[in-house]
Every structure is written in C-alpha cells, then in structure tokens.
Amino acid sequence: MEMARVESRERAYLIGMARTSRKKSNVKASLEELAELTTSAGAAVGGSTLQTRPPDPKYYIGKGLVERLKDEVTVNGTNLIIFDDALSPAQQRNLENALGIKVIDRSILILNIFAQHARTAAAKMQVELAQLEYMLPRLTGAWTHFSRLGGGIGTRGPGETQLETDRRQVRTKIAFLKKKIEKLGKQREIQRKGRRDLFKVSLIGYTNAGKSTLFNNLTKADVQIADQLFTTLDSTTRVMSQGYPHKIIFTDTVGFIKKLPHQLVASFRSTLEEVTCADLLLHVVDVSDEDCQEKVTQTDLVLREIGAGEIDVVLIYNKIDLLDDLPQLPPTDRVSFHISALSGTGLDTLKDELSARLQRFSAQSLKVRESFAD
Ligand SMILES: Nc1nc2c(ncn2[C@@H]2O[C@H](COP(=O)(O)OP(=O)(O)OP(=O)(O)O)[C@@H](O)[C@H]2O)c(=O)[nH]1
Ligand SMILES: [Mg+2]
C-alpha cells in the first residue's frame, strides 16, 4: 500500500523568473525555498528552471519553455508545475490547457501547507478563509477544472476535505467563517485585557528559525517542534514568574516567509494580534542559514505589514551550536544575543536581559499608576 502512495505522489517541476540577470541569485534562493515548500506539501521535486526575461502575458514564461515542459510531462512524468511568482488566472488557465496538467503558484503551495498543519479549530477556520478568499476571484475559469485534473495540492482544505468550487457557496462560507473568526478575536481581546499590566514578550521570526524550541526552553511548555516549514500555526501563551522579578508573558506564534500570501496575513490577524500587542519582540534568526540576512529583512517586512513595526525588537541569533565560529553578520544597532535554543547556550544572558527590561517596565507602569492616583 505504501508503495502505491509513493508512486501516485505528485511530481513537480519548479519555475522561477528573474527580470534581469542581476536578480538571478535572489531568485535562485527563492527557488530553493520553493523546493522545500514543495516537499513539505508532500510532492516530489523532479526539476527546476530559472528563466531570465520579462513575463509573457499569455503564458508568463516563454514559448520555448512551454515546449520543453511538454517533454517534462511526457518523458519524465511531471504532473504538477509550480511557479515561484503569482500567475494571473488567465496565465494559469492557458498553461494548464497547453500542458494538460495542474499549474499552481507559491501562494497556493503555502496555503496548502497551512491547510495540512492546521490543528486547532481557530487555525483551521483561518486557513480555510484564506484559501477561499484566494480562490474566489479565480473561480470563473482555471480553478473549477482542478476537479478534472485530480486532487492533491491546491484542492485540499484543512483536514484534507475538498474545497468548495461553487461561487455562491464559497461566498456564504466566507461570510460564515469571518463571523466565527471575529468572535474568536473578541475572546482573545478579553484575555489580553486581563494581561494588560503584564510585560508581554512575543517570539517571532522566519519559519523554522527555532521559535518554538526557544519558547519551550524559556517556559518549559511542550509546543510541537519539527524540522519543517510552518509547524506552528496557532499562538501559545504562557505566564512565567519563576526566575523573574515579576510576572512575564511569553507567546509563540506562526512563522513568516517571503511572499506570504496576503490572504493568510489577513485571516491570521486575530492570531497575529498577540504580536502587535507585545511590549517586546524576540526576533529569532537561524544563523546557520546562509540566507539569514535576507530572512531578517523579509520578517521585518511582514512585521510592518501587520502593524508591529514600531515595537522594541531584540535579535536572537539562534543555532550557534551548528557553527564553529560566531557568525560574521553586518553591524546592527539592535540589541542581539547569540544562543542555541537546543543546547541552552546563551540562555542565561538572555534571561538576565529580559529580567532587566521587566524591572524597567514594572517601574514605569508603577509610575504611570501613581500619576493617575495623584
Ligand atoms: N542545531 C540546532 N537546531 C535547532 C535549534 N533550535 C531549533 N532547532 C531545530 O530547528 C528546527 C525548527 O525548530 P522549531 O522550534 O520548530 O522552529 P519554529 O521557528 O518554531 O518553526 P515554525 O513553527 O515551523 O515556524 C527543529 O528541527 C529544531 O530542533 C538550535 O539552537 N540548534
Ligand atoms: Mg514553531
């Protein structure tokens, strides 16, 4: 049985496009990440191509490559094409008609991984909403024949249910989900009000940086950790007092990625509000990753997008146990720490910093309360 499953697995061919050759190395890194996303979603990567040219209105890629892809399909058994960039619904449809196989883009892939990893009711609702919002403008053409092209990536909802493809039903479902998510947001708001006077620290960063590992280490919680993209989708909060001068609240939450579909950012707003209400952000960075500077930049972009760009940030350079020497990183005016969340190296120094900031925060809020009392 296991054999049959592997045989029927989707075999994907990946395509990235650089408008100028200057952009090539960025696109190459992005393609490598697309390959990771593809395997995370459960498909095999059969090959990839990086084209340097302006996009073609009809197929996005050049006609020569469309011909080569036909060979990929017949000779190598490719049954899925994944683009690193967003395709217009028309381009997607033209390519699918020319090749006879499913064509998707990075956004659908990310949405699909979120759908597979959603465990809690809240995460499931938020992912489904994002998927439906993404599909709605596409339902006229390309999407409806996904059912003809079979299941797999692009058709899965949370919990492996098939997504609706009827416009009217999709609209009704969107309205229903929005209402339920709004209710959930209100509950979270009430919880947050109860913690108004406490020092709130949120762990944020690129996916797979080690946020949950650090969170577990700081709080002795038992959040799931895995070497894959988007393990954590919901936020977890713990109040700590042991080892700190006052109560402190830690929150672990969903990771960020380059080109995070904006539908996801919108529907995860209530989860991400834990981040926007924090007093301090611990920006966790995997320094063993060659591309970590670019990932810091991308994370900062998402932070600004969700309205958390003004919050105090401490950089946490994580996974130093994987390096022989401390990493050479460009100078930054932000406070930074080198740690290994896995082995615990550097955590004492980080905790001292948190204690000091907590003291200052508590002294400040005491002053504010006294001035109100006067
Ligand atoms: N060597 C080493 N590995 C680490 C360290 N911290 C985390 N990891 C590993 O990195 C992988 C990702 O860790 P997580 O804590 O799940 O990362 P995350 O940032 O929560 O990831 P998402 O929830 O998927 O966004 C796991 O395999 C961890 O064991 C570290 O300090 N050193
Ligand atoms: Mg995590």
Encode pLDDT of 184-212 as tens digits: 889 888 888 888 889 999 999 999 999 99
User: Which of 36, 110, 204, 212 maximizes ligand 1 atoms within 8 Å of its Cβ, making it the mutation to test the pocket?
Assistant: 212
What stretches in the chain show pLDDT beneath 50? 1-7, 141-143
Residue 48 CB neighbours (<10 A): 18
Residues 26-38: b if buried by 16+ CB within 10 A, e if exposed: ebebbbebbeebb
Nearest residue by C-alpha to atom 30 in ligand 1: 319
3 state SS of 351: helix
Cα distances (Å, whole numbers) of residue 99 to 8, 63, 73, 93 = 19, 12, 8, 10
Domain ranges of the chain: 2-117, 195-373
Residues 6+ apart with CB under 8 A from 17: 27, 50, 51, 52, 53, 55, 60, 61, 83, 84, 85
Give the Å distance between the CA of 225 and the centre of ligand 2: 6
The verdict on the CB of residue 229 being under 6 Å from ligand 1 is yes
208 CA closest ligand 1 atom index: 21
3 state SS of 243: coil
**The model's pTM:** 0.87
Fold for 2-117, please state it. Answer: Rossmann fold (3.40.50)
236-288 tens-digit pLDDT: 899 998 889 999 999 999 999 988 888 888 888 877 888 999 999 999 999 99
pLDDT value, residue 106: 93
Fold for 195-373, please state it. Answer: Rossmann fold (3.40.50)
Q: Do 2-117 and 195-373 show the same overall fold?
A: yes
